[in-house]
Amino acid sequence: MAYSEKVLDHYNNPRNVGTLDKASQEVGTGLVGAPECGDVMRLQIRVNEENVIEDAKFKTFGCGSAIASSSLATEWLKGKTVDEALGIDNMDIVEELSLPPVKIHCSVLAEDAIRAAINDYRVKNGLEPIKEEDKIVH
Amino acid sequence: MGEIKLPIYLDNSATTPVDPRVVEAMLPYFTEKMGNAASRNHPFGWAAEDGVDLARERIAALIGASSPKEIIFTSGATESDNLALKGVAEMYARKGNHIITCNIEHKAILDTCKILEKRGIDVTYLEVGEDGMIDPEAVRAAMTDKTILVSIMMVNNEIGVRQHIEEIAKIAHEGGALFMTDATQAVGKLPVNVNEMGIDLMAFTGHKMYGPKGVGALYVRRKRPRVKVTAQMDGGGHERGMRSGTLNVPGIVGFGKAAELCRLEMEADAKRIGALRNKLESALMEMEETYLNGHPEHRTPYLTNVSFKYVEGEGLMMGFNQFIAVSSGSACTSASLEPSYVLKALGLDDELAHSSIRFSLGRFTTEEQVDYTIEQVKKAVQRMRDMSPLWEMYKEGIDLSTIEWAEH
């Protein structure tokens, strides 16, 4: 299977690989997927007082498309408010990376990771987690 | 070290390049010797038939068959497997309806058995141990008075384990059944002797032994016992009535030439390539959390299957697959997301199965290529581990089995 140029670019030059202090009040961590399924993504955000995502980091165990999806997600998250970040849809990732149908689950996982990180941040800061039903899932 | 020629081919268990000497032998059979081997009345037909006869003799010699007549040409190992299983099931239907095989066979065997089950055949799928080996005693225990065939592959295509064929054949015969083996990964690469090993039927193919694609064979024993299979294709009654269809003369000639070369060069090849495989394997295994899949001794010297824990196979391959061709036990490319059933049959965690890479070497693999591969793969594994949340957790001493993963 041939990968798209953008997937190759993110794979070869992943943006924002790394780790934020998960104990910090400003940091939300999302860990999604399962080793048995061949994909695990950890996505972290650091949110400032204006509710803006100042930094985002990821680490991913998975195929090239999974790595590219999470790398792209961190790029998109930076500078967005938390509410704006919730608007990132997996199909936007599919489109941007030209993912083939068998790789759509990679984009779903990235979206899940974003939501998990945001929820972790919300709960840490005394807010209700956003529920799954609140959003249309592709 | 000079500039190395890329890409490097380390996927010889999938298919091998055709030896240039084989190509040369084939060429006249496309042009001046283009006859139909079944045309008995003119020189074109005679020339084609001579070419086929020589190939049959060479292939018979390679596998120690008593007569060239025991070689039935097919389109490849998949067809040979189908012909053997379905042909025996039909031919021996009055004798019984039970077949024994195992759960790490190639899909050509497993899927054919599934079809036979729908036709009323009982199939026992023996399970292999953690090392990929079948316990011959398990075969004995599975035998019934209805067992007509035991079919166990000689060398597994993913992990390279070589089964105790001789013992299993003996047990099959003691129970009154025929013994069949899919020897696709063995013939031409390891010594195979159908008489010494007690093989009644054997499937193999040209393109795994430096011959062309699209031509294979089924060995069918003619004496002690005389084995027959019911044809699965109707037509001109070629190949002693077992496989109709105009013979692929250039392909067969190439297959024969390849068999001849293997017979003469196999011993030296296996020794040289085995040493390269060992070099590659031990260098990769120096990395921590790296595991060898399959029995470390009972196996072919041509391949190694290694799991790099905490790294996903397809993602890893992407790091070097522009330059080095290998294959992965991770099925991330398929919609099922299921990793290799062979690795799962060994009891490997899905996680380790997803992390596996098969490196298969061949006649044209050089030491320079192996050295380059070691360097590139090690680099890619380290890079992927630096990017892996699982590796980070492992390094922090977190037991991954204690985490509640959201299976998706």
Looking at chain A, the whole-number percentage of residues with pLDDT higher than 70 is 94
Name which of A12, A22, A37 to mutate to probe chain B: the one with the most chain B Cβ atoms within 10 A of its Cβ: A37
Tell whether B385 is within 8 A of chain A (Cβ). Answer: no
The Cα A59–Cα A73 span in angstroms is: 12
For chain A, give the mean pLDDT.
92
- Helices (H) and strands (E) counted in chain B, each on its own, are 13, 13
CA-nearest residue of chain A to B331? A38
Inter-CA distances, B265 with B61, B273, B276, B339, Å: 14, 12, 16, 36
Distance, in angstroms, between B157 CA and closest chain A CA?
A: 22
Query: Which of A34, A38, A101 is nearest residue B406 as measured by Cβ atoms?
Result: A34
Residue-wise pLDDT tens digits, A14-23:
999 999 999 9
C-alpha distance from B368 to closest chain A C-alpha (Å): 25
From the centroid of its chain, how far is CA B280?
21
By the CB < 8 Å criterion, does B400 face chain A?
Answer: yes
Is a pLDDT exceeding 60 seen at residue B355?
A: yes
CB A23 within 8 A of CB B396: no
For residue B391, the chain A residues in CB contact (below 8 A) are 61
Closest to A35 (Cβ–Cβ): which among B314, B318, B390? B390
Cβ of A35 within 8 Å of Cβ of B349? The answer is yes
Interchain CB distance below 8 Å, A36 and B405: yes
ipTM attached to this prediction: 0.92
For A35, phi then psi, to 5°, come to -55, -35
Q: Is the pLDDT reported for residue A132 higher than 80?
A: no
Cα(B251)–Cα(B23) distance, rounded to whole angstroms? 10
Lowest-pLDDT range, B142-146, B275-279, B353-357?
B353-357
pLDDT score for B333: 47
Cα angle at B336 between B99 and A110, to 5 degrees?
160
Q: What is the pLDDT of residues B291-326, one digit of tens each?
A: 999 999 999 999 999 999 999 998 999 999 899 999
Contact (CB<8Å) B312/A62 = yes
CB within 8 Å of B32: residues ≥ 6 apart: B47
Give me the DSSP letters along A21-71: -TTSTTEEEEEEEEGGGTEEEEEEEEE-TTSBEEEEEEEEES-HHHHHHHH
- The phi and psi torsions of A46 (rounded to 5 degrees) equal -115, 125
Q: What per-residue confidence (pLDDT) applies to B329?
A: 73
Looking at CA atoms only, how far is residue A102 from chain B in angstroms? Answer: 5
Question: Which residue of B319, B390, B408 is in closest CB contact with A105?
Answer: B408
**In a mutagenesis test of the A interface, which of B338, B354, B395 is the best target, namely the one with the most A β-carbons within 10 Å?**
B354
Nearest to A36 among B318, B335, B350 (CB): B350
Q: Do A33 and B332 touch (CB under 8 A)?
A: no
Q: How confident is the model at residue A3 (pLDDT cuts 50, 70, 90)?
A: confident
pLDDT band at A134 (very low <50, low <70, confident <90, very high): low
In the numeric block, which tokens belong to residue B220? 């069918």
CB pairs under 8 A between A and B: 98
Cβ of B408 within 8 Å of Cβ of A108? The answer is: yes
Nearest residue, CB atoms, B390 vs list A19, A61, A102? A61
**Residue B366: pLDDT band with limits 50, 70, 90:** very high
Within its chain, how far is the Cα of B43 from the centroid? 38
The H helix count followed by the E strand count for chain A is 5, 3
Considering chain B, what percentage of its residues have pLDDT values greater than 90? Answer: 91
B82 pLDDT higher than 80: yes
The band of B1, judged by pLDDT with boundaries at 50, 70 and 90, is low
> Which residue is it, tokens 């795994």?
B208
Quick check: bond before B225 cis, omega within 30? Answer: yes
The minimum CA-CA distance between A106 and chain B, rounded to whole Å, is 10
Strand, coil or helix: A117:
helix
Amino acid A4: pLDDT: 93
**Above 90 in pLDDT, residue A118?**
yes
Which active-site residues of A does the annotation give? 37, 106
**Which residue of chain A has the CA closest to B322?**
A2
**Strand-strand pairing, B216-220 and B201-205:** antiparallel
pLDDT bracket for residue B404 (50, 70, 90): confident
Give the model confidence (pLDDT) of B113-170 as tens digits: 999 999 999 999 999 999 999 999 999 999 999 999 999 999 999 999 999 999 999 9
The Cα of B407 is separated from the nearest Cα of chain A by a number of Å equal to: 5
> Which pLDDT band holds residue B337 (cuts at 50, 70, 90)?
low
Average predicted confidence (pLDDT) for chain B: 95
Chain A residues within 8 angstroms (CB to CB) of chain B: 1, 3, 11, 14, 17, 19, 31-42, 59-64, 66-67, 101-102, 105, 108-109, 112
Rounded distance between C-alpha atoms, residue B180 and residue B177, angstroms:
10
Query: Per-residue confidence at B281, pLDDT binned at 50, 70, 90?
Result: very high
pLDDT surpasses 80 at B90: yes
